[in-house]
Amino acid sequence: MDQDLHCIAERELLEGVSGIATFSTMSPSDEEQNQPKAEISCQVRKENPEKDDLQDSNASLSPNSLMTTKELQEYWRNEKRQCRQVKLLFEIPSTRIVEHHFSKYVMYKIIVLQTGSFDSNKSVIERRYSDFEKLHRNLLEEFSEEMEDVTFPKKTLTGNFTEEIINERKLAFKDYLRLLYSMKYIRRSKKFIDFLTRPELQEAYGCLRGGQYTKALEILLEVIGLQERLTRGNPVSVVPTLCAIMVCHKDLENPASAFEYGEKALSRLCVHTSHRYYMPLLETMITLAYELGKDFLSLQEKLEEWKAKKDPVRVFTLKELAVREYV
């Protein structure tokens, strides 16, 4: 019986080796025939982890093999994120009435959740009726056709602060945001993104200019997650925020954390070397790398290469650029 089991195991091993050999010797035409016509869905990738491993090992033979291990890991992480279907959900669970001097208004607490991804973090912001009203006017100007059938909760002459009216508006604003987000051109628009992020960014940069780095950092770390979710198709747009976080960490004498966020910003500018943040970012990264005992020569080479291609012009430091944002 032991001999029979040994024979079975040997036969299975030979079949496995044969399968791998067949895969590695497939011609490009065979490979194309075995690939599905549509883009590989996330579900299929999960159901075939062995196939993913083989494809990943095959990809290492591509030009990406020139990347460092860390760059390659970041590359595949971004590829997998793009594969996942990302969807944002908007909830308005509560409100609060604010009385300030001679004004009185309702603040709506908005929770933004991301589904269809491993990222389960949520973003929490507050907006008042006039903020929604301004957003609606701005969108009507730019997207009159798309906004044609979008209804907006109207103000009433009396009873704006009754529990019944507030609850009705809570539900109406939740549906309003979900409807706006369902329209591609609107959810990618600067006006929609600004509605969800600009007030917090203005406050954070105000703190940064005032030297309140701890408070600025706290706000920036909250808003960067929402910014990244909203601008997934345009990763360069979050570079200023990443650099502001970097500046805060540096001035708070956290060089390791500053370098970490600098790497994130630099990875988004690898093919955008003409970006106004590129050279100041490189200079700051070189300083931090030297301080931390990391490799700064490769960064220095990139900087020298950039300088050789560009005319010498007055360039702001990273901090000077950061304090000029949202002025």
- Domain span holding position 277: 197-324
Per-residue confidence (pLDDT) for residue 75, from 0 to 100 = 58
Do 229 and 286 fall into the same domain?
yes
Question: Rounded to 5 degrees, what angle do the CA atoms 225, 226, 227 make?
Answer: 90
Do 264 and 307 fall into the same domain?
yes
CA distance linking residue 282 with residue 325, whole number of Å? 19
Low-confidence ranges of the chain (pLDDT < 70): 1-86, 116-120, 311-314
CA distance linking residue 326 with residue 227, whole number of Å? 15
- In sequence order, the 6+-apart residues with CB closer than 8 A to the CB of 3 are none
Strand order in the sheet with 87-100: 87-100, 103-115, 122-128
In a domain, 12, yes or no: no
The pTM (predicted TM-score) of the whole model is 0.73
In a domain, 265, yes or no: yes
CATH code of 119's domain? 3.30.1520.10
Do 113 and 178 fall into the same domain?
yes
In a domain, 69, yes or no: no
Final residue of a domain: which of 139, 157, 188?
A: 188
In a domain, 297, yes or no: yes
Per-residue confidence (pLDDT) for residue 156, from 0 to 100 = 83
Do 315 and 221 fall into the same domain?
yes
Dmax (CA) for the chain in angstroms is: 93
Per-residue confidence (pLDDT) for residue 194, from 0 to 100 = 97
Do 307 and 249 fall into the same domain?
yes
Per-residue confidence (pLDDT) for residue 319, from 0 to 100 = 97
Final residue of a domain: which of 136, 159, 188?
A: 188
Do 177 and 250 fall into the same domain?
no
Query: How many angstroms separate the Cα of 259 from the Cα of each of 185, 235, 262, 263?
Result: 35, 19, 5, 6
In a domain, 72, yes or no: no
In a domain, 75, yes or no: no
How many structural domains does the chain have?
A: 2
In a domain, 260, yes or no: yes
CA distance linking residue 95 with residue 247, whole number of Å? 34
CATH code of 303's domain? 1.25.40.10
Do 121 and 205 fall into the same domain?
no
Do 232 and 273 fall into the same domain?
yes
Do 280 and 306 fall into the same domain?
yes
Q: First-to-last CA distance in the chain?
A: 82
- List the one residue out of 265, 263, 278 whose CA is nearest residue 310: 278
In a domain, 5, yes or no: no
Do 209 and 306 fall into the same domain?
yes
Per-residue confidence (pLDDT) for residue 74, from 0 to 100 = 64
Do 115 and 169 fall into the same domain?
yes
Do 222 and 254 fall into the same domain?
yes
Final residue of a domain: which of 121, 154, 188?
A: 188
